[in-house]
Amino acid sequence: MTTLHHEHPTHQHTHGTDCGHQAVRHGDHVDYAHDGHLHREHSGHWDECEPTGHTAHGGHDHAHAPGCGHETVQHGDHVDYVHDGHRHAAHDGHYDDH
């Protein structure tokens, strides 16, 4: 799965531990949920951390739902579940990596 390098140049807010936005560990970095998408710091600026394409997460036996024990983050028009260092979203009877 590739992630677009989509710089968010008008982002005036600096994210951090006390910024008020939900922090989500994502692989080797931290994303911050803000305005329905996720931001990450990259080379002194903020990028939108969004995957390209459709990447199904095969072999995912756990059914995510409210109260399942995994952190949730609002992502556009759906909810992602944070699991094993990445985000999962339900899609057509399976889960996608986000």
Residue 82 counted as domain residue: yes
**Structural domain boundaries enclosing 72:** 6-97
Distances (CA, A) of 17 to 13, 56, 91: 13, 31, 31
The verdict on residue 1 lying in a domain is no
In a domain, 84, yes or no: yes
The number of domains in the chain is 1
Confidence of residue 75 (pLDDT cuts 50, 70, 90): confident
What pLDDT was estimated at residue 51?
Answer: 66
The pLDDT of residue 10 is above 70: no
Interval 15-65: pLDDT, tens: 778 887 788 877 788 888 777 777 888 787 777 776 666 677 777 778 888
Would you state the pLDDT for residue 53?
Answer: 65
Closest CA to 45 of 77, 17, 76, 5: 5
Which stretches does DSSP call E strand in the chain? 6-7, 23-26, 29-34, 37-42, 45-48, 72-75, 78-83, 86-91, 94-97
